[in-house]
């Protein structure tokens, strides 16, 4: 042992160096050692100045020490049961001498002498380190596997308990009594330094010194134990074990650790006993305490989550009730008793649970449940109102602090991820929005939350072009007649909106001011997160939310376009839904600026009356004023009217001279009836007016109608819009007769053109072999009808699809006068018909609606604009887009209703054609 | 093949049969629109053609003529305003027909 080691160990005692082994009995001859030195310890003072008395005491003490330590030293092998030692007289004397008598050492090893208690503690330490620790370290060396946690803990606990017993037994038997008696005999100052350890009650009945020694010994032992089981690993394992115990006790099915619960339910009582035993054992060997409590807290934390996930995640879809009350019950009757049990086992100071704690746990659980619910909120919204139960849960959750913020942010995220992307159709978004409105109304009737949550959706909906169209056309859809199929197949209509519309009108009149209604016993203040100027909208039904998506004027413009289109197609002669919609909008949005819509509605309603009176005028040929009602007279007395109209010659349509003489002997038949819708064009949106020639009989009827109209209404003229309207016809072939209803005018016109012309009767007479009648090609038809090629083709495709025409060559069509009988031929016809029908359907879908959009207008006038731009750029040099736009707005005849974007598009197109060139930075010039 | 048209639903737009300057000189609304007070064009808000060939919405010219300062003159040409007794432009009315109370006011 070199000098350096000695110096070091004198400052920091090294156990193996300072600890003495019991002196062998065979070498008791202490007298021969140098004066002042003892045989045993290297720390026995070697000062020469120790006088005789001290030396004598030293010798005596050394002998006693030797005897006592020999008696107390531990066997290498840990016995299963603490061995019972029988003290001899000699040993007892030595113990008394060392512990209570003169050889006693005050705390802090005076003069380097070692107290017996410390020695024994060190002895235990060394023994533990040499004999027990390797075993435990083996157990705890690696991460403890989940499946083995229980065993490892059990084993450690068993080993430690056994060792502890072995260590404690001699201490309790042979050390403590003497300490006690020593303390009794000598008056010692009580030890104020003893730290109060209320958590671990030691033997309070013993007096201070012995109690302190005992407590200290235990503490040292426990520190030793705790040190040898890796603390992190231990608390993790314990935490897991407790979690596992909780899971088993509460039969949790979905666990975080991925362990599948054993199929047959275990015996809970037995299991509970096992857990209790383990915990108590751990507490005994000092592994309880704060660490264990921390581990327990972790376990409970996880347990709460798992339990909620396992038992309460399931939404009550059927009875639509909240699960919160059950959850609270469980906390009170299931969770708390477990906590109490564990705390009891761990000997915590306060092992009963306070009511406030129960409440706070319930809140905690509610918060967790709420979070889980909120994470799935979007799904609940979609499944509204089956998911009412979930919403009731969330409603409870909203009372938790911070819940609203969480809900808002989480839901906004879900919405932006799952709803507001290009893949979702507008109808779908609208439907979800409606669900949101309904669901959040349930969550918070005051609507503050809804407003916050819905903002991004509203913004997004506003950006979509087809939103207004879908809303309005859905509002106009009849729910009862067009059942189901229409909504599923056609994504342009929202069933939700339609059904909302079908509900009776909310009683709008009654609510004066809810806030001032003193009799309202259900009144509630606004939520605290409402902004100071928050005003709840008076009507909160879904339609209101939809109608207020836009600025009022924008919406009404859109409404005008859609309503116009709709009215022209509408089959309902009473226009009930349209009237209702208009009333509804008037009620919601006020009735100014709705003039155009009202006029449109009035036009279609009046048209019926005008029709009737003109028919009367036409049929009863003699001049009569029956159609001129007194009411009209009084209303517009100033209008010059046809008081004495010249008797119109009843011109039968068939006799009208025209380039397409119909072969129908119209004189014999009553002839077609012409019903017209007379529009006040100023108030209608721009309508399609592709011009073409309608069948002669129709144009004759139209002329006559127009004349009559002018006579009745004075100073007013009609302009026929042939692209709009509908017709129904009967086709008689050589072998069959077919009826067609609801055809577009151009379809009728095209098929009408296939009738034999005056010079073609002979062709019609002799049918070709294949049963084909007259054939015409596309350009012929264009000439005959003055019709656009695209319309001709579309109509031809339609008729091919109906097996009326057959395409005999490229662009040439012939009438199928007799349907072929041979299978092969009919098969080919069928195929062609199917293909053509499909084509016609696609083309019809592409056809613009009756109302012309801005885009159509731009396309139509593109050439004019292009010419204007080129002229301008040539004359004035290169220009930026803004300037071009400004010039066009000022100079183009008829105004230029478009913006910069359209001009840019136009310029790009022209660049593609090589007419202009972009210089970058929005400057454009003519290409030289 | 024979085509028999059973029914034909047509669409037509009406307009006042007026010369090109199709804005009422008083309210500056197009003739086809209404005067500033009316809601529905056509029957409810007819036009009135003066002898001076200036025409206005009937309601507009009436309220003008009611004012003292107007001295019953046409606001455009300052000639005394008389309603044209016959409809000069309407195609169907060739015979002069006298409206019962076509004189102003």
CATH number of the domain encompassing residue B71: 3.30.40.10
- Indicate the DSSP class of residue A203: -
Q: Is B96 a member of any domain?
A: no
Check if the beta carbon of residue A731 is closer than 8 Å to that of residue B1.
yes
Please report the pLDDT score of residue A648 as a whole number: 40
- Give the best residue of A652, A714, A852 to mutate against chain B (max B CB count within 10 A): A714
> Which chain B residue shows the shortest CA-CA distance from A666?
B4
In chain A, residues with a C-beta closer than 8 Å to the C-beta of B6 are: 672-673, 727-730, 739
> Which chain B residue shows the shortest CA-CA distance from A663?
B2
Q: What are phi and psi of A550, to 5 degrees?
A: -110, 170
Rounded to whole angstroms, the Cα distance separating A80 from B83 reads 132
Q: Is B54 a member of any domain?
A: yes
- Interchain proximity B7–A680, CB inside 8 Å: no
Please report the pLDDT score of residue A36 as a whole number: 52
User: How many cross-chain Cβ pairs, A to B, lie less than 8 Å apart?
Assistant: 219
- Using DSSP's 3-state secondary structure scheme, residue A46 falls into coil
- Interchain proximity A728–B6, CB inside 8 Å: yes
Q: Is B26 a member of any domain?
A: yes
Residue A533 CB neighbour total at 10 angstroms = 5
- Interchain proximity B9–A675, CB inside 8 Å: yes
Q: Is B11 a member of any domain?
A: no
Q: Is B76 a member of any domain?
A: yes
Q: Is B5 a member of any domain?
A: no
Rounded to whole angstroms, the Cα distance separating A883 from A391 reads 56
Nearest to A673 among B7, B86, B95 (CB): B7
Rounded to whole angstroms, the Cα distance separating A455 from A451 reads 6
In chain B, residues with a C-beta closer than 8 Å to the C-beta of A709 are: 14
Nearest to B91 among A643, A684, A710 (CB): A710
Q: Which residues contact A270 (CB under 8 A, 6 or more apart)?
A: none
Check if the beta carbon of residue A24 is closer than 8 Å to that of residue A15.
no
Q: Which residues contact A514 (CB under 8 A, 6 or more apart)?
A: A520, A523, A536, A538
Rounded to whole angstroms, the Cα distance separating A399 from A388 reads 18
Please report the pLDDT score of residue A621 as a whole number: 46
- Give the best residue of A565, A658, A717 to mutate against chain B (max B CB count within 10 A): A717
Please report the pLDDT score of residue A201 as a whole number: 42
Please report the pLDDT score of residue A331 as a whole number: 84
Rounded to whole angstroms, the Cα distance separating A818 from A772 reads 7
The whole-model pTM stands at 0.65
Please report the pLDDT score of residue A686 as a whole number: 79
Q: Is B23 a member of any domain?
A: yes
Q: Is B94 a member of any domain?
A: no
Rounded to whole angstroms, the Cα distance separating A684 from A309 reads 59
CA distance A811 to chain B (A): 20
Positions of chain A with pLDDT under 50: 26-32, 44-50, 108-109, 186-206, 483-484, 489, 508-510, 621-669
User: Closest Cα partner for A437 from A465, A461, A472, A417?
Assistant: A461
Please report the pLDDT score of residue A258 as a whole number: 61
CA distance B79 to chain A (A): 20
Check if the beta carbon of residue A413 is closer than 8 Å to that of residue A421.
no
CA dihedral A167, A169, A175, A178 (to 10 degrees): 170
A271-275: which pairs have CB atoms within 8 A and are 24 or more residues apart?
A271/A245, A272/A341, A275/A241, A275/A242, A275/A245, A275/A345
- Interchain proximity B9–A727, CB inside 8 Å: yes
- Interchain proximity B12–A817, CB inside 8 Å: no
CA distance B68 to chain A (A): 22
Instruction: Give chain A's radius of gyration (CA, Å).
Output: 51
- Interchain proximity A755–B1, CB inside 8 Å: yes
∠ Cα A83 A87 A92 (to 5°): 140
> Which pair of structure tokens corresponds to residue A622?
């003699």
Instruction: Give chain B's radius of gyration (CA, Å).
Output: 17
CA distance A867 to chain B (A): 27
- Interchain proximity A710–B58, CB inside 8 Å: no
> Which pair of structure tokens corresponds to residue A166?
């072995």
Rounded to whole angstroms, the Cα distance separating A74 from A127 reads 7
Rounded to whole angstroms, the Cα distance separating A679 from B12 reads 6
Q: Does an H or E element contain A727, and which?
A: strand A716-732
> Which pair of structure tokens corresponds to residue A279?
């915990």
Rounded to whole angstroms, the Cα distance separating A117 from A174 reads 11
In chain A, residues with a C-beta closer than 8 Å to the C-beta of B5 are: 672, 695, 697-698, 727-729, 748, 752
CA distance A822 to chain B (A): 21
3-state secondary structure A457-515: HHHHHHHCCCHHHHHHHHHCCCCCCCCCHHHHHCCCCCHHHHHHHHCCCCCCCCCCCHH
What are residue B45's DSSP bridge partners? B42
In chain B, residues with a C-beta closer than 8 Å to the C-beta of A681 are: 13-15, 32
**Structural domains in chain B (count):** 1
CA dihedral A773, A778, A782, A788 (to 10 degrees): 130
Please report the pLDDT score of residue A30 as a whole number: 46
Please report the pLDDT score of residue A191 as a whole number: 42
In chain A, residues with a C-beta closer than 8 Å to the C-beta of B49 are: 715
Residue A728 CB neighbour total at 10 angstroms = 17
* Residue A148 burial (C-beta neighbours within 10 Å; 0-12, 13-18, 19+): middle
Nearest to A672 among B8, B12, B47 (CB): B8
CA distance A846 to chain B (A): 22
Is the confidence at residue B102, as pLDDT, over 50? no
∠ Cα A201 A205 A210 (to 5°): 90
User: Closest Cα partner for B63 from B79, B48, B52?
Assistant: B48
Rounded to whole angstroms, the Cα distance separating A120 from A170 reads 9
Range of the domain at B23: 17-88
> Which chain B residue shows the shortest CA-CA distance from A592?
B39
Nearest to B99 among A640, A669, A733 (CB): A640
- Interchain proximity A717–B6, CB inside 8 Å: no
In chain A, residues with a C-beta closer than 8 Å to the C-beta of B30 are: 682
> Which pair of structure tokens corresponds to residue A859?
């396309």
Rounded to whole angstroms, the Cα distance separating A747 from A751 reads 6
Is the bond preceding residue A468 a cis peptide, omega within 30 degrees? no
> Which chain A residue shows the shortest CA-CA distance from B18?
A715
């Amino acid at each position: 042992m070199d000098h350096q080691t000695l110096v070091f160990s004198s400052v920091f005692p090294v156990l193996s160096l300072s600890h003495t082994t019991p002196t062998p009995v065979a070498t008791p001859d202490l007298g021969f050692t140098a004066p002042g030195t003892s045989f045993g310890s290297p720390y026995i003072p070697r000062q020469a100045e120790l006088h005789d008395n001290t030396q004598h005491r030293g010798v005596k003490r050394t002998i006693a020490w030797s005897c006592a330590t020999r008696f107390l030293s531990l066997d290498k092998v840990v016995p299963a049961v603490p061995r019972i030692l029988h003290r001899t007289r000699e040993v007892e004397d030595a113990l008394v001498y060392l512990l209570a008598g003169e050889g006693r050492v005050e705390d802090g090893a005076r003069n380097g002498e070692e107290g017996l208690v410390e020695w024994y503690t060190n002895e235990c330490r060394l023994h533990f380190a040499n004999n027990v620790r390797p075993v435990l370290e083996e157990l705890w060396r690696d991460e403890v596997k989940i499946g083995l946690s229980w065993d490892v803990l059990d084993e450690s606990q068993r080993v430690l308990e056994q060792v502890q017993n072995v260590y404690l037994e001699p201490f309790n038997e042979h050390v403590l009594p003497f300490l006690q008696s020593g303390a009794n005999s000598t008056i010692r100052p009580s030890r104020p330094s003893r730290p109060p350890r209320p958590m671990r009650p030691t033997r309070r009945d013993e007096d201070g010194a012995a109690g302190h020694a005992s407590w200290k010994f235990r503490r040292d032992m426990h520190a030793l134990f705790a040190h040898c089981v890796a603390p992190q690993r231990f608390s993790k394992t314990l935490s897991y074990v407790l979690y596992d115990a909780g899971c088993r006790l509460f039969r949790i099915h979905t666990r975080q650790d991925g362990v599948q619960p054993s199929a047959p339910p275990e015996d809970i009582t037995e299991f509970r006993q096992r857990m209790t035993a383990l915990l108590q054992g751990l507490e005994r060997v000092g592994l309880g305490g704060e660490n264990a409590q921390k581990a327990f807290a972790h376990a409970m934390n996880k347990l709460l989550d798992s339990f909620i996930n396992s038992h309460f995640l399931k939404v009550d879809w059927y009875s639509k009730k909240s699960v919160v009350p059950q959850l609270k019950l469980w906390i009170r009757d299931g969770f708390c008793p477990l906590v109490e049990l564990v705390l009891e086992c761990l000997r915590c100071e306060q092992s009963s649970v306070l009511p406030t704690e129960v409440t706070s746990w319930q809140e905690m659980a509610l918060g967790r449940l709420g979070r889980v619910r909120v994470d799935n909120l979007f799904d609940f919204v979609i499944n509204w109102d089956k998911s009412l139960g979930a919403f009731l849960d969330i409603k409870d959750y909203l009372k938790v602090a911070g819940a609203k913020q969480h809900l808002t942010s989480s839901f906004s995220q879900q919405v932006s991820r799952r709803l507001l992307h290009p893949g979702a159709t507008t109808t779908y978004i609208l439907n979800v929005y409606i669900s949101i409105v309904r669901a959040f109304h349930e969550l918070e009737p005051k609507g503050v939350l809804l407003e916050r949550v819905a903002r991004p959706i509203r913004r997004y909906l506003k950006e979509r072009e087809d939103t207004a169209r879908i809303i309005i056309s859905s509002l106009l859809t009849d729910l009862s007649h067009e059942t189901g199929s229409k909504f599923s197949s056609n994504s342009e209509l929202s069933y939700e909106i339609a059904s909302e519309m079908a509900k009776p009108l909310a009683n709008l009149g009654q609510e004066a001011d809810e806030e001032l209604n003193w009799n309202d016993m259900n009144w509630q203040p606004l939520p605290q997160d409402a902004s100071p100027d928050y005003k709840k909208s008076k009507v909160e039904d879904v339609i209101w939310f939809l109608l207020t998506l836009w600025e009022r004027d924008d919406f009404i413009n859109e409404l005008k376009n859609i309503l116009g289109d709709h009215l022209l197609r509408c089959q309902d002669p009473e226009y009930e839904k349209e009237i209702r919609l208009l009333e509804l909008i008037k009620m919601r949005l006020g009735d100014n600026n709705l003039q155009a819509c009202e006029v449109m509605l009035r036009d279609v309603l009046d048209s019926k009356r005008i029709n009737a009176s003109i028919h009367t005028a036409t049929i009863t040929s003699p001049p009569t004023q029956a159609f001129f009602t007194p009411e009209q007279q009084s209303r517009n007395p100033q209008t010059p009217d046809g008081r004495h109209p010249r008797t119109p010659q009843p011109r039968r349509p068939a006799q009208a001279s025209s380039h397409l003489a119909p072969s129908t002997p119209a004189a014999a038949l009553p002839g077609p009836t012409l019903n017209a819708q007379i529009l006040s064009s100023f108030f209608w949106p721009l309508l399609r007016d592709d011009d073409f020639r309608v069948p002669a009989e129709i144009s004759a009827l139209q002329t006559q109608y127009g004349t009559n109209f002018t006579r009745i209404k004075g100073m007013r003229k009609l302009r026929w819009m042939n692209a709009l309207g509908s017709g129904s016809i009967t086709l008689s072939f050589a072998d069959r007769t077919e009826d067609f209803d609801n055809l577009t005018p151009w379809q009728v016109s095209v098929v009408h053109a296939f009738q034999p012309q005056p010079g073609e009767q002979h062709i019609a007479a002799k049918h070709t072999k294949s049963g084909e009648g007259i054939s015409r090609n596309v350009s012929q038809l264009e000439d005959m009808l003055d019709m656009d090629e695209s319309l001709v083709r579309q109509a031809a495709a339609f008729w091919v699809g109906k097996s009326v025409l057959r395409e005999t060559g490229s662009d040439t069509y012939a009438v199928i006068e007799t349907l072929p009988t041979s299978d092969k031929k009919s098969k080919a016809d069928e195929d062609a018909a199917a293909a053509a029908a499909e084509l016609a359907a696609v083309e019809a879908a592409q056809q613009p609606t009756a109302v012309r959009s801005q885009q159509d207008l731009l396309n139509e006038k593109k050439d004019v604009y292009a010419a204007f731009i080129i002229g301008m750029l040539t004359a004035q040099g290169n220009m930026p887009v803004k300037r071009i736009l400004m010039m066009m707005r000022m100079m183009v005849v008829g105004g230029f209703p478009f913006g910069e974007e359209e001009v840019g598009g136009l310029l790009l197109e022209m660049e593609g054609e090589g007419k202009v060139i972009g210089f970058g930075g929005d400057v454009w010039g003519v290409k030289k | 093949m024979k085509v028999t048209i059973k029914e034909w639903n047509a669409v037509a737009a009406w307009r006042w049969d007026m010369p090109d300057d199709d804005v009422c000189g008083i309210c500056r609304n197009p003739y086809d629109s209404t005067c500033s007070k009316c809601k529905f064009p056509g029957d409810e808000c007819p036009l009135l053609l003066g002898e001076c060939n200036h025409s206005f919405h009937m309601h507009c010219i009436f309220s003008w003529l009611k004012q003292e300062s107007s001295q019953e003159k046409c606001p455009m040409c300052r000639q005394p305003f008389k309603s044209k007794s016959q409809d000069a432009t309407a195609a169907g009315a060739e015979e002069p027909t006298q409206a019962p109370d076509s004189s102003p006011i």
